[in-house]
Each structure stands twice: as structure tokens, then as C-alpha cells.
Amino acid sequence: MCGIVGYVGSKNAQDVLLSGLAKLEYRGYDSAGIAIYENGEVKISKTVGRLAALESMLADSPLSGKVGIGHTRWATHGKPSDENAHPHAGCASDFAVVHNGIIENYQQLKDRLMVAGHRFVSETDTEIIAHLLEEHWTGELFATVLKVLKEVRGAYALAIMTQRDPGKLVAVRKHSPLVIGLGQGENFCASDIPALLGYTRDVLIMEEGEIALITDAAVECFDLSGRPLEKKVFQVTWDAVAAEKGGFDHYMLKEIHEQPRAVRDTMSGRLSEDGKRVTLPEIKWPDGFVQTWDRIHIVAAGTSYHAGLVGKAVIESLTRIPVDVEIASEYRYRDPILTAHTLVIVISQSGETADTLAALRISKERGVRVLAITNVVGSSVAREADDVIVTWAGPEISVASTKAYTTQLIALYLLALYLGQERGRLGAEFVADFLEDMRELPKRLEEILGSSPWIERTAKDFSVWEDAFFLGRGTDYAVALEGALKYKEISYIHAEAYPAGELKHGTLALVVEGVPVIALVTVDALYEKSVSNIKEVKARGAHVLAISWAGDEEIGKSADRVLYIPRTRAELAPVLLVLPLQLLAYYASVARGNDVDKPRNLAKSVTVE
């Protein structure tokens, strides 16, 4: 996730771009840059670091002009660096391109362009766009961009300008957000509305596969075959603070709603062209290595640890490689048994958690290969691991982790499938079907988001209690742990997760009349046992919310309330199940008047022991 902004008008473009980027920094902040049309040339100023670094660079050497584009980056392809910062130019430096998204086929295009003599200066996927514009130049920017897009596969929001056709911006949207701002004698584009609010409240929301030609006098919108489109102007009535959260009351709710997009992005670029195999191009194990792993250690903390528990279940089931999941703060002090055939996987949203980093370092010191799953490309974990799978969730601002967890699960499913496929354990048809089901997840997540009002009412009822119990078996238990953590973290209600069959060994004593019990019931093979556990707590007076598959007509006879989630393959249930639990925690926290995004005593990134 990155932020892009563009301006054409009569104001000083540098000021407009910098103020817009300041409102988009929540989308990424590892580097920033702008391009401005100045004295007949496109001039670029960019630097690694937060926007403040760019501002001080421009304070020393300002750019002056009325047309420009800007970018604040959250690295996906290539570490945070001056070279990888946007905008990107072609060989002759007369184009400027800013991009949010992922170009899936960039490596093939880059190889071809290099053979044709193009010189690349960055490791980004974005730079290929600038070189393709040079290749396909028609004498006119808009027509050239249309030609270039025919070659490009993936997700993108783009803003493009060139000195060859000045006074124009071309903006494109495909699977990454983009809005156009309409002014008097000036027009804008941006990844999100807050960037525009200082200048206009009249916006055009670009839809999938739309392209706009923007000048100071007009904005024309087209589909990607160049057919003109009529678009309705949307009047923004939100105040600036609400707009920064995309109209949501809290970052956590916004991030919960971003999960369909984040899941799609995390799969993107990691499958074969026909979508039937996992390619994971970022894994660079030496030839034959994939066959050698005979044990996997997953090491992480908090929510990332909970993702690891689901990872264990899926890796063991798809590959039969034994997996241990360990809490990083324990692992680092316990002299783990590591051999040349052990693969260590560390999971960390921030990539800076001190305990996880220590576990990584210990493993590396012992000569073991470490694979990291992280959300932050330039983080310490990403830099020090041997191989890295980046979760393309985009920056997570709320302390309570939501979209990072979901995308960690996606990365773990892809890894499990990759291992199974490469070790010859999984048939081609099985992998293709599994991936097909994974591609459906964003749609299913959207369906569950539709139950938000029902979940809000339930959370309100539950929020008057000082305890809650989360039960599950198998992977339902792993998700119950995450549900309980989320609940206690932001609602401050004591919440415990239990393997449902374990209750009778002690915790059942805490179940009293009316206490909320959230029972997860998606493991078909253990369905009857889970129902018995529901009856067990019901007999002690608990108030049970069961979460089960749509079509389960029996569960309503045992539970007080039932939330149905759409059916998917059993292994993927955790991705869907966690969403109502995140919403339950969120609304309970709101009902209790807590500071949802910044819960007491906690920090987003725990960089000390």
C-alpha cells in the first residue's frame, strides 16, 4: 500500500503535493518523492525516509511548477532506498510514474526491456512502466498509457506525466484505490479523499479498470479500451479526521474492512499465470533444498504466533512435515534443537519485535535457514532473514492486529501448498482447487462484513460482562486464541480461549449464569463433540454464541445465538472465522468507550524485551 497524489492547476504544485502526501502517510512512509514539470522538464526529488526528509530536501532545493505527481511508499518490491522511491523515470528521464499496487509480470517485462537496451536504476516493479512508455510512445500520453496497460498484469493505481506532452496527467485504477478531485481551473488525483480535502469536496471515485485524462480545465474518464464514461460527482461531507480513517470511526475498523483487498494482494504475483500453481518467486532455496526439510519451527509473538498455530495445522496436513510453533520470548532462551534440515519461519507484522528478532538471530548463528513472513519490507526481520514473504496488508496503524493476521494466514497457506507441490505430495488438481477456493475468500469476507450490525448488537450485550470464553477444537481453537486476545486487548474484558474438550479439567468452574461463551464450530469431523461442549456450558447457564457454517440447521438448537459464515474448504475456515471475532472485540471496545486504536499499556511494535 502506498499513497499517490497528482495536481494540475495554477498553484505551486510542490505545496499541493506535499500537503496531500502528509494526509496519505498512513498508507506508507518508508520513502517519498515528487515530480514537477519545471521549465520544460520533468524534475524529480525523492528520498528514503518519512515525508519530513523530502520536505527538508525541498526546502533547500525547491521545485517550481504547476503540474506534478507525488508518492509516499510502503515497500513491496525492493527495499526502502533513494533509488526505489517513486516517482520513477525511464532511460531519458522525461517520464514520471507513481504507483500503488503490484505489477505481477514485471520480471518478464523487465528482462525483455533490458535485452532491448533499457537501463534500470531501481529494484521496483513500477519502473517498468516508465520504460514501457518509452517503448510504446505514440506522440501522445493518454494513447501511450492505454497501449502500455495492455502489457501489464496486476493491481495498480497510477499517476503518470511527461514533458513530451505537458500539462496533462493520466491516472489509472485497477484493484488499487484512486479518486479524482475537481476544482476551478485545477484538478487533482489521489489514493484517498483526505489528500484532497484542503482543496475540494467534489470528487469522482474511479472504479476498477478506469483511466482519466486530467488537465487544469477538465477531467475525462474512460474505460481501458478508451471508451468515454459518464461519472457522477460525489460530494464529500466527512470532516477531515473521519476522512483519514476512510469514513470509519477507527483505524481498526478501517483495517478490518481492508481485509478482502489485503488477501487479494497477498496472493497476487505468487501464482502461475493460469492460477493453478504456487510460484512464490521470493523463495530462493538452493536446488533440492525443498526436499530436505524434515522439521519446521515457527516462531512469533502475539497475533503472529496465533497465525503460526494455523500454519502448523495446514503445513502438517499438506506436507506431513512436523511443525513446532513457539513463542519467541521462550524460544530465544530454550536452546532449541536445530539441524541442517530444520527450517525456521519467523512471523512478525512489524518485523521489529525484539523477541522474534532474537529468535531469528539465534537460528542464523546456528547455521539454520530462516524464512520470514512480515509486513514491512525494510524491517530488521526482513533484512536479516534468508528468504522473505511479504504480506501485502499495507501499514497497520491500530495496535490490535487484524489485516496482518489474515495475510499471514494467506502467506502460510501459499507456503504449505508450495512445499506440498514441490515435494510431489500434492496433485496438480488439488493445488488448483485449493487456490480457486482461496481466490473466493475476498468475496466471502465481504459477505461476513455484511453481518456487522448483528455483531455490533451482540457485542453490546456481551460488553456488560467482565468475562468471556472462546471455545474451539482443532484450527477453531487456534482462531479462538486470536479471538480472545483481540477481545481482551481492546475491550479490557477478561477473555480466555480453551480447547473445548479441556474445559471440564478446570475452567468449567468459572462458567456462571449468563456469562458469554463464543463457540467456534467449523471442524466438521469434530462437530458433535463441539455441540456436546456447547451443551456442557449451557447446562451451567452460559449464554452461547456459536459461529458455524451456513446451512448448519442443528446448531441453533443448542446455542442462544448463531452467526453463520459462508462455506469454504475446511482448511480455510480460520480466514473467515477471525473476521466476526475481530468485529466482536471492536464493538465491545466501542461499547465500553475505550480508546480502540491505542489500548492502554500496549504499543504497536514491541522493540524491547
Q: Which CB sits closer to ligand M6R, 163 or 401?
A: 401
Q: Which CB sits closer to ligand M6R, 512 or 603?
A: 603
Q: Which CB sits closer to ligand M6R, 124 or 407?
A: 407
Using CB under 6 A as the binding rule, the residues of this chain from 463 to 492 that contact ligand M6R are 485, 489
Instruction: Please report how many Cα atoms fall inside a 13 Å half-sphere around the Cα of residue 407, on the Cβ side.
Output: 31
The full DSSP string for 317-362 is HHH---EEEEEHHHHTTS-----TTEEEEEEESSS--HHHHHHHHH
Tell me the closest approach of the beta carbon of residue 607 to ligand M6R, in angstroms. 9
The full DSSP string for 565-607 is E----GGGHHHHHHHHHHHHHHHHHHHTT--SSS-TT--SS--
Using CB under 6 A as the binding rule, the residues of this chain from 156 to 195 that contact ligand M6R are none
Tell me: does residue 128 bind ligand M6R (CB under 6 A).
no
Tell me: does residue 356 bind ligand M6R (CB under 6 A).
yes
Tell me the closest approach of the beta carbon of residue 134 to ligand M6R, in angstroms. 40
Tell me the closest approach of the beta carbon of residue 478 to ligand M6R, in angstroms. 14
- Please report, as a single letter, which amino acid is at residue 282: E
What is residue 215's DSSP assignment? -
- Give the separation between CA 153 and CA 268, rounded to whole angstroms: 10
Specify whether the backbone of 583 is left (phi greater than 0), alpha (psi in -120 to 50) or beta. Answer: alpha
List the x/- string, 489-518, binding to ligand M6R by CB under 6 A: x-----------------------------
Q: How far apart are the first and last CA of the chain?
A: 29
Selected from 124, 348, 406, 533, the binder of ligand M6R by CB under 6 A is: 348
Interface with ligand M6R by CB under 6 A: which range of 211-219, 277-285, 346-354, 453-461? 346-354
Q: Angle at CA 148, nearest 5°, toward 259 and 275?
A: 45
- Give the separation between CA 488 and CA 585, rounded to whole angstroms: 8
Would residue 221 show up in a list of annotated catalytic residues for this protein?
no
Tell me the closest approach of the beta carbon of residue 13 to ligand M6R, in angstroms. 37
Using CB under 6 A as the binding rule, the residues of this chain from 288 to 317 that contact ligand M6R are 301-304
Using CB under 6 A as the binding rule, the residues of this chain from 58 to 117 that contact ligand M6R are none
- Please report, as a single letter, which amino acid is at residue 497: A
Selected from 122, 353, 452, 589, the binder of ligand M6R by CB under 6 A is: 353
Q: Which CB sits closer to ligand M6R, 176 or 391?
A: 391
Would residue 23 show up in a list of annotated catalytic residues for this protein?
no
Tell me the closest approach of the beta carbon of residue 330 to ligand M6R, in angstroms. 14
Tell me: does residue 399 bind ligand M6R (CB under 6 A).
yes
Residue with cell string 504456487 = 278
Helix, strand, or coil (residue 499): strand
Active-site residue, from 11, 231, 276, 604: 604
Active-site residue, from 2, 43, 312, 486: 2
**Residue 224 CB contacts under 8 Å (≥ 6 apart), including other chains:** 146, 149, 172, 174, 209, 210, 211
Name the closest residue to ligand M6R (Cβ): 302
Q: For strands 3-8 and 67-73, give the pairing.
A: antiparallel
Q: Which CB sits closer to ligand M6R, 179 or 344?
A: 344
- For residue 39, the tally of other CB atoms under 10 A from its CB is 8
Q: Which CB sits closer to ligand M6R, 304 or 530?
A: 304
Q: Which CB sits closer to ligand M6R, 61 or 601?
A: 601
Catalog residues that contact ligand M6R under the rule CB under 6 A. 301-304, 348-350, 353, 356, 399-401, 485, 489, 605-606
Could you give the residue numbers annotated as active site? 2, 604
